Amino acid sequence: MPPTATREDITAYLELIEKDQIKPHRLPDCTQCGLAACYFKIHAYRERRFLIIVDMTVQSEYAPLVRFRCPACGKTVSFYPDFALPHKH
């Protein structure tokens, strides 16, 4: 994992979202009911701010995180791309 996201990483991630290629297969199974992650459905998108370093300055870029919902129990889970850490900017 790179120490910081780049604009290219975020742009590539946005293209995957636009092409509807984000799948829940890398997510863990549901922690409440145990349903396999491959059955999760896209539920919503949540805006996320990413802090990136460009020319020795910190700039912010915004991109959506995909939220999946378990169809059995309704629990929602966020999909984090490779360059994003949960609960961190």
Residue 1 lies in a domain: no
Residue 34 belongs to a domain: yes
DSSP string of the chain, one letter each residue: --SS--HHHHHHHHHHHHTT---GGGSPPPTTT---GGG-EEEEEEEEEEEEEETTEEEEEEEEEEEEE-TTT--EEEE--TT--TT--
Residue 88 lies in a domain: no
If one counts the domains in the chain, the total is 1
In a domain, 85, yes or no: no
pLDDT score, position 24: 87
Span 1-10, pLDDT tens digits: 445 678 888 8
Per the structure, the complete domain to which residue 65 belongs is given by: 7-79
In a domain, 70, yes or no: yes
Q: Is the pLDDT of residue 23 over 70?
A: yes
Instruction: Give domain status of residue 65, yes or no.
Output: yes
